[in-house]
Every structure is written in C-alpha cells, then in structure tokens.
Amino acid sequence: MNKILSKLPFKILKTTAVSGGDINKTYKLEAVEGNFFMKVNSLIKYPELFKKEANGIKSLAQSDILKTPRVVTYGESDNYQYLILEWLQAGNETPESQVKFGRQLATMHQKPQPFFGFTEDNYLGTWRQPNTQHTNWQDFYTECRIMPLVKLIVDNRTFYKENRVAAENFCSRIGELFPDEVPALLHGDLWGGNYISLENEDTALIDPAVYYGHREMDLGMSRLFGGFSAKFYEGYNEVYPLEQNWQERLPYSQLYPLLFHAYAFGGNYINSVKEILKRF
C-alpha cells in the first residue's frame, strides 16, 4: 500500500477503507489537493483491469451526457494494480433524479455507434469479455457473449448437452427475438450498485463494462438486481421509447449477465439460466 501511495501525484493525509468493492479493495484518500477514490487489485489475476475500466469511464464521459468520476491516474506496483478516481459525494436519490437519469441514459443510447463490439476487450466483473467488432447484433451476442460463457459452464460440468443445444437454438433466433436497432454505447453492467445519486438531481455512472450493443442490454441489467424506480423508465421512454414488448424480452437481455454469474458463482444462477433456455 505504501509503495502505491508514494507513487501518487498528491500528498496523502489520510487513507480509509470503504465498502463497495466486490472484487477490489477500495479506499477513500484524503489529500491536500482534495479527496480521491482508490481501487486496488491483483495484477496477475486480472491484467489491465483498471486500464480497461479507465478507458470505459472516459468513453462514457466523452458522450458528455451522464456524469462519471474523473480518472486521475492508474498504474502498477509489485503484484498490484491501482486506479485513482475523483471522489464523488453521494446525495439523495429522488423521483426527479430517477426521471432525469432515465432521460440521460436514453439520450446516450440514441447516438448511433459504428458497430457492435468495442475498440478493445475489457472486463465484466472478473471475466475478460471479448468485444470483437461485428456488423450485426446476432453474431456479436452469440460469439462474444452467450457461447463463450456457455462453453465455460459446460467445461465446469454444470451445464449439459441439452443446455448447450438450447443455447445454440437461442442464438440462432436472436435476430428475430430482438428488434432491429443500431448499436448504442452501453454502460454494460448497469445494476443499482453502479450509479451514484449526486446533488442537483444528477447521477454518475461508475464501474462500467462498456461496449457498443443493443440498448435493451442496459435496460435488462437494470431490472435484474433492482435499484431503479418506475420513474427511471418513465424518463427513458419520454426520450427514446422502447420497442413494444420490451419487458417480455427481459430474459433474453438478462441471459448474458446471468451466464456470467452462473460461471462465477454457480448456485441458483445456473437454475435461472436453465429456466430461460428451456423454452428453446
């Protein structure tokens, strides 16, 4: 820790461990220059984790719509890597802030992107997610999201032949299951723990797993673990109305994060994935 702190471009007055990191050790740094947020993790287990996260934050920031923490610096020290971000002081979430958040996310999604995928691979949690560029959603969702994780779960012997076949059948129908839309910049891991309500009804996005994809992926993730009120969806639909029956398609957009959780944690996530796939 001291080696990391000695590399930072400011004078540290106090370091306090804080909660909120599922896979990282996280700290509040109080310095002469202000307050900062620091993440620390293994360099060996997750190479370039924080470089990829910093690039994702910068991509969201460049859209100039939703707030993000400013990336101060990132680097390596011995077997550790670290990321230093601006400290964001949480405020009170209100119905008005959720409406504004929904409108802003919809505005970000409205801007068309050149392809499905991204300019580099990055991480969803502990999984290095491939972001190979594709011209259509079906191929990208199949080759870079669903089938790589299905293979890992099969290799772990928690998936069987019939589950793999069902996943292949699902992938063959992605083009008809999802409405045809242009790629959108996605947060990529938009659950309730990955945004911060600020003052003045603003919202900041944190911990992204960005890529260019179908916008219903962000909406599906937002409904998977809670944290978003009905006002959020009202605001979203004011700006960029979702296609008819989007709620019925939630299991299809949630399949990817559920597959990741099934791979990482097993348990009931395996059953949730099988429940979605059994109709195929």
Identify the H or E element spanning 132: none
**Which residue in 121, 139, 189, 202 is the catalytic one?**
189
What does the alpha-carbon distance between residue 164 and residue 82 come to, in Å, rounded to a whole number?
Answer: 38
The 10 Å CB-count burial string (b at 16+, else e) for 207-219 is bbbbbbbbbbbbb
DSSP string, 150-186: HHHHHHTTSS-HHHHHHHHHHHHTHHHHS-----EEE
Q: Are 170 and 280 in contact (CB under 8 A)?
A: yes
**DSSP code at position 223:** T
What does the alpha-carbon distance between residue 115 and residue 133 come to, in Å, rounded to a whole number?
Answer: 6
Is 189 one of the catalytic residues? yes
What does the alpha-carbon distance between residue 277 and residue 280 come to, in Å, rounded to a whole number?
Answer: 5
Which active-site residues does the annotation give?
Answer: 189
